[in-house]
Structure 1
Amino acid sequence: MADHSSFASTEQCVTKHLHLIFHVDFNSQVIRGIASLTVESQQDHLRTLVLDTKDLKIQKVAVNGQTTKFALGESHSFKGTPLEITLPFELTRGQDVIVEVSYETSPKASALQWLAPELTAGKKHPYLFSQCQATHCRTIVPCQDTPSAKLTYYAQVSVPKELVALMSAVQDGGAPDPADSSRKIYRFRQNIPIPSYLIALVVGALESRKIGPRTMVWSEKEHVDEAAYEFAETEAMLKIAEDLAGHYVWGQYDLLVLPPSFPYGGMENPCLTFVTPTLLAGDRSLSNVIAHEISHSWTGNLVTNKTWEHFWLNEGHTVYLERRIGGRLFSEQFRHFQALGGWKELQNSIATFGATNPVTNLIPDLKGVDPDSAYSSVPYEKGFALLFYLEQLLGGPDVFMGFVKAYIHRFAYKSVVTDDWKTFLYTYFQDKVDVLDKVDWNAWMHTPGMPPVKPEYDMTMSNACISLSQRWSKATESDLGAFCAADIEALSSHQHIEFLALLLLEEPLPVTHVKRMQEVYSFNGVKNSEIRFRWLRLCIRSKWEQAITLALKMATEQGRMKFTRPLFRDLYNFEKARDQAVAMYLERRPFMHPVTAMLVGQDLKVVTAQ
């Protein structure tokens, strides 16, 4: 199957191992690299091979030590530039060669964000982090940048000696850089084959705290103790995940809290999960993101979608596992409550894209489409809804978890497409084929909009949220005095999130209502980012001018796209806030992550030069 997001042809050859030498240069904001790829031919008479690159300066290519010819092809808007290498000799099927590419990254590499000292918590040292999913690894390594190819890697990274380097791998010691006494070399090895998008690097003034037998939390020292408290339940979650999904094969499970511009809630880089500081709620209430990233150790990292069209195989199963962990930690009612919250997220996403938009298919057609532009909660929540529906059809949580565990075991270390999954589902439940045949697979997989069936949810924890949200949406001005702080005192922070999410699905409240809500519930002062985000969206949609400054502050003080993009979109749609939103974006754009800057610019209809 062709990967529409890559130039590399894995039918011709496959990369098995990657040896990286990185020299990180903060002054010029580039990485000088030598990538040695162990490539195995998949056919006889192979004379050329193609690697993915984007904005790389290629200096030299050698094959088995022999300098060889190379050419860069035509540049493509999001796929970058194919690097065509002419082999100095013909390869036969099964033959290995080592292709060594010497190169330099561009200061505008989309996988990297270089932060000046003033943008870090410590304000003294610069900081660098990578984000390679979906197709950005090619901006830091010439490679087969497709999840259909999996490789092991070894790396040595030279950085200023006052800084620490970490990668998505097990640390393998360090030493002074023999070429420069002001620098230090860190070494890493990843012995389990991974797709290129899971190669990750961070360099900064980092400290660690041990929080479990196989877990350390890393961050700048200003946040490390806070993070150690917030993520203290990590080992408990890991043990539940192992009980559900099988042995954890990666050895170490560390967490890194990144600076605020990190564009995602978390990124499941093996051995070193990257997380946003917006999870530091102070009460461990947002730790479900950690359960999600832990779950990726099995679904995504061990069993991987072969192309980005099948992204739901990564994310739907990971959300399913994440919620099973939550159910074990708290209660089955809590699992259902989280699942229902996910259904609302899906409704929101589909309302944003439009119910007939083909990117809301569970399996979208990405031919000519940048996977970043298609990114949404659809593969997560539509994928989860399908699995939750199947669980209810096929015999309940334990029966269905048996299938998920068997699926992981069957396809471990491989990349798969939906047909592989579906064939295995039919094989595993061969006594229930008649039940499976009643599923409208086409409607679930290839039809835009909401799923054809809504699963059944235990409403115990949701009813209080529904009741309160209906009171607010039906209230007249004369009813507002009846609301008081006691309305939400018995509700958990998860229920506060759900209450606000329900109101966001309704017509905007009158501004009198949100003013009263602030008087009685004091949402402006809440630290929990998920509550704050929904509350500010509610205020802006109600056209409360006093909230504009707070919404702009949240949209720019952190760069998590889940928060930043909807806040900017809502501000843009509020006429009195539009000019301020565009001006603030233009001012903050140089400090944003490159992908966030691009997508927010599109949302605000600001044309940016590529």
Structure 2
Amino acid sequence: MPVYRPSEGCIHIDALSCLRNTGITIYNSAEPRRDSLEVSVRTSRPSCQLIERIESILYSVFQVCWLEPEQTAGKVKPFFYTQGQAVLNRSFFPCADTPSVKITYSATIKVPHGLVAVMSASQWHEPSADGEFRFTMDKPIPSYLIALAIGDLESAEIGPRCDILIMPPSFPFGGMENPCLTFVTPCLLAGDHSLVDVLIHEISHSWFGNLVTNADWGEFWLNEGFTMYAQRRITTMIFGHAYMCLEAATGRALLRQHIDTTGEEHPLNKLRVKIEPGVDPDDTYNETPYEKGFCFVSYLAHLVGDQKRFDDFLKAYVEKFKFQSVVAEDMLNFYLGYFPELKQQDVANKPGLEFEHWLNVPGWPRFLPDLSPGDELMKPANDLANLWSSPEVDLEKVKQIDISLWKTYQTVYFLDRLLEKSPLPSGNMVLLEKTYPKVSKTKNSELRLRWTQIIGKQKYTLPIYRALWASSETARKLALSTFQDTKKQLHINVQNYVSKILM
């Protein structure tokens, strides 16, 4: 039978011997929403022999990992993928499923003819003739970053350093920063490079999240707040300060909407969230760790007062904690050690802006970075939104503002302002659509989303279904018929969520 050896601190099981010699089955169960995987062995026949290795462990995953052909772009072959964040990889393979533990791994994947396997690995070996793919990740990563995808995949060379996997249309996330293989939604293929900020964000996770990782999901802001800051630093270098401020203003509006919806005092509106029994770590996935986290990192940069010195700190922080998992105190203590003059000024206890307040008090951030350099892009959008929200639209003034010259986020900002003012006066929506047909028929998902929200006064599938269900009987019938017609194209999680809305 399985034997625990205190001197070695592990359980020795010869699963193959158990099956061959006794015919018994070894059962493993993992409790949901636990921070680690505990293996329980149950058997009624105590005849397992003790040896020095585990011969094999067989795992299986659930339906959520499998997409039917109808859920793919080609609609011919099925697709398989894993999504580990936050604590889902415990159902994929045996692991300490917590970001505080980092591991290296190797994998051998065998797939049917005509399918291709890819993984979040630093080394991909050439596949064998019988469909066997081998992968190696020689850098320690947390379990949630181990990812696998199998499908009818085609590839194109776009650069030497970054592999990007365009997921099927039913992939229910914007992107996932799996190391060496970023998963992204096909919605990014807008045709105009306008949503490149998502790629910048996921690549920025290479340093913040993948290399230096939050030690638990209550510290999720350490991953996302620093990544948002890095994303916007890169955006500034590529597109200019004004454009970065415009994009950041869009993010700030999303944070305002989130806090207004959930309430200032909601515990998930803290940077440091207490993950208690029964709390799903995925609940921390909201605008707070991203945008409030960005505000805190921006405040730390503001205290330094010199962009180059703060950039140098970020590099030193990553170098100090690379391949490690950290909590806020690790970062803040290193920050104060790196800038001793700030420690001497006791900035950690500045009234109203105490570091402890930032971490543990919910609500709107006490410091907001200056976005006024974006006014040159935001003012025309604000003016245009005011014109369209008037009972009598002055078309001559509207024509003086040419949105065909705008960058995507300027149009996004304009639509956000319209959404705030919705519902628009009677007839304005029809006139708006006739005036800007390229906006109403755009393939850009961010623009389509906001256009649909203005029409229906409500983000993507779930909010639109909520809006329809809360509307008229005709709208409810439309929601039901649309769901029935498109159900097979949706990810199973999305199917379940929509079903609950339409109950």
Pairwise TM-score range, normalised by the shorter structure: 0.7 to 0.9
Counterpart CA distance in 1 for 2:444 and 2:126 is 38
Aligned mates of 2:356, 2:183 — CA distance in 1: 36
**CA distance in structure 2 between the aligned counterparts of 1:263 and 1:157, rounded to whole angstroms:** 25
Distance 1:392 1:431 in 2: 14
Q: Which residue of 2 aligns with 1:32?
A: none
Aligned with residue 420 of structure 2, among 499, 502, 505: 505
Separation (CA, whole Å) in 2 of partners of 1:295 and 1:478: 43
Aligned to 1:519: 434
The aligned runs of 1:434-445 (5 Å cut-off) are 434=345, 435-438=347-350, 439-445=353-359
Distance, in Å, in 2 between the alignment partners of 1:359 and 1:313 is 15
Q: Cα offset for 1:479?
A: 4.3
- How far apart, in 2, do the equivalents of 1:518 and 1:428 lie? 54
Range 478-487 or range 323-332, more displaced = 478-487
Q: How many Å separate the matches in 2 of 1:202 and 1:45?
A: 36
What secondary structure does 1:210 align onto? Answer: coil
| Equivalence for 1:468 | 384
How far off its partner does 1:593 sit?
2.3
Q: Give the Cα separation in 2 of the matches to 1:294 and 1:443.
A: 30
5 Å matches for 1:372-387?
372-387=282-297
Which one of 361, 365, 371 corresponds to residue 447 of structure 1? 361
Q: CA deviation at 1:598?
A: 4.0
- Structure 2, gaps ≥5 residues long: 43-47
> Are 2:60 and 1:102 aligned?
no
Q: Give 3-state SS (helix, strand or coil) of 1:155's partner.
A: strand
| Paired residue type of 1:593 | H
What residue is the counterpart of 2:124 in the other structure? 171
Equivalent residue in structure 1 for 2:246, among 313, 330, 337: 337
Contact 1:480 1:516 in 2 (8 A): no
Please name the residue that 1:267 is paired with.
176
Letter in 1 for 2:75: K
Cα distance between partner residues in 1 of 2:206 and 2:241: 23
* CA 489–592 in structure 1, closer or farther in 2 if over 3 Å, else same: closer
Residue 83 and residue 511 in structure 1: after superposition, are their counterparts in 2 closer, same or farther (change >3 A)? Answer: farther
Q: Number of aligned pairs?
A: 482
1:256 to 151, 155, 165: 165
2:461 to 561, 564, 567: 564
Partner residue, 1:538: 454
Match of 2:45?
none
1:46 aligns with 2:17: no
1:190 aligns with 2:137: yes
CA–CA distance in 2 between the matches of 1:579 and 1:157? 45
Q: Give the match's secondary structure for 2:250.
A: helix
Q: Deviations over 1:113-145 (max 9, x none)?
A: x22223322233222122111111112112111
For the residues of structure 2 that align with 1:126 and 1:349, how far apart are their CA atoms?
Answer: 36
Is the CA contact 1:154–1:187 (under 8 Å) kept in the aligned structure 2? yes
CA contact (8 A) 1:168 1:272 kept: yes
Q: State the match for 1:415 in structure 2.
A: 325
**SS of structure 1 residue aligned to 2:57:** strand
Matched residue, 1:211 = 158
Cα–Cα, structure 1 residues 389 and 599, in superposed 2: closer, same or farther, change >3 Å?
A: farther
Q: Please report how far the alpha carbon of residue 99 of structure 1 lies from its aligned counterpart in structure 2 after TM superposition.
A: 4.9
Task: Quickly say closer, same or farther: Cα 1:166–1:476, change in 2 above 3 A.
Answer: same
Which residue number in structure 2 is paired with residue 495 of structure 1?
410
Change (3 A) 1:578 1:426: farther
**Against the structure 1 CA distance between its residues 414 and 478, is the aligned structure 2 distance closer, same or farther, given a 3 Å change threshold?**
closer
The one-letter amino acid paired with 2:448 is R
Alignment of 1:230-245 (within 5 A): none
Cα distance in structure 1, aligned partners of 2:30 and 2:91: 16
Q: Which amino acid aligns with 1:171?
A: W
- Give the equivalent residue in structure 2 for 1:365: 274
- The answer to whether the 8 Å contact 2:72/2:170 transfers is no
Q: 2:490 aligns with which of 592, 601, 609?
A: 592
CA 1:425–1:571 in 2, change beyond 3 Å: closer, same or farther? farther
The structure showing larger relative contact order (alpha-carbon pairs under 8 Å, at least 6 residues apart) is: 2
1:174: how far off?
1.8
Give secondary structure in 1 for the equivalent of 2:156.
Answer: strand
User: Are the equivalent residues in 1 in contact too, given 2:81–2:149 (CA < 8 A)?
Assistant: yes
> Structure 1 residues 359, 584: CA separation in 2 closer, same or farther (over 3 Å shift)?
farther
Alignment correspondent of 1:346 = 255
Q: Does 1:291 align with 2:181?
A: no
1:201 maps to which of 148, 172, 177: 148
Aligned equivalents of 1:98 and 1:310: distance in 2? 36
Q: Deviations over 1:76-106 (max 9, x none)?
A: 478898423699989xxxxxx8655522414
8 Å contact from structure 1 (residues 258, 274) kept in 2: yes
Letter aligned with residue 332 of structure 1: H
CA distance in 2, matches of 1:99, 1:483: 72
Q: Quick one: distance in 2 between partners of 1:125 and 1:345?
A: 37
Cα–Cα, structure 1 residues 274 and 485, in superposed 2: closer, same or farther, change >3 Å?
A: farther
1:578 counterpart letter in structure 2: R
Q: Match for 1:394: what amino acid?
A: V
TM-score, normalised to structure 1, is 0.72
Contact 1:48 1:85 survives alignment (8 Å)? no
Cα 1:425–1:585 change in 2 (3 A) is farther
Contact kept? 1:62, 1:101, Cα under 8 Å: no
Q: In structure 2, what is the Cα distance between the partners aligned to 1:136 and 1:530? A: 28
Could you tell me how far apart the structure 2 residues matched to 1:441 and 1:88 are? 56
440-449 or 364-373: bigger deviation: 440-449
Residue 84 of structure 1 corresponds to which residue in structure 2?
A: 40
Q: Secondary structure at the match of 1:83?
A: coil
Query: Identity, % of aligned pairs?
Result: 39
Q: 1:428 to 1:69 in 2, by over 3 A?
A: farther
Please state which structure has a larger fraction of its residues in strand: 1
Structure 1 residues 497 and 171: CA distance shift in structure 2, 3 A:
same
Partners of 1:446 and 1:329 in 2: CA distance: 35
Q: CA deviation at 1:153?
A: 0.8
Query: Structure 2 vs 1, CA of residues 377 and 391 (structure 1 numbering), >3 Å: closer, same or farther?
Result: same
Residue 219 of structure 1 is matched in structure 2 by: none
Task: Give 3-state SS (helix, strand or coil) of 1:338's partner.
Answer: helix
Q: Which moved more, 1:301-310 or 1:590-599?
A: 590-599
Partner of 1:398: 308
How far residue 362 of structure 1 moved from its aligned partner, in angstroms, is 1.3
Q: What value does the CA root-mean-square deviation take over the aligned residues?
A: 3.2
Question: What is the TM-score normalised by the length of structure 2?
Answer: 0.87
- One-letter amino acid of the structure 1 residue matched with residue 92 of structure 2: I
Change over 3 Å in CA distance of 1:502–1:78 after alignment to 2: farther
Q: Deviations over 1:236-258 (max 9, x none)?
A: xxxxxxxxxxxxxxxxx201111
Shift of 1:329: 0.8
Change (3 A) 1:506 1:59: farther
* Separation of aligned partners in 1, 2:245 and 2:393: 36
Post-superposition offset of 1:483 = 3.2
Following superposition, the deviation at residue 62 of structure 1 comes to 8.4
Answer yes or no: is the 8 Å Cα contact 1:60–1:103 preserved in 2.
no
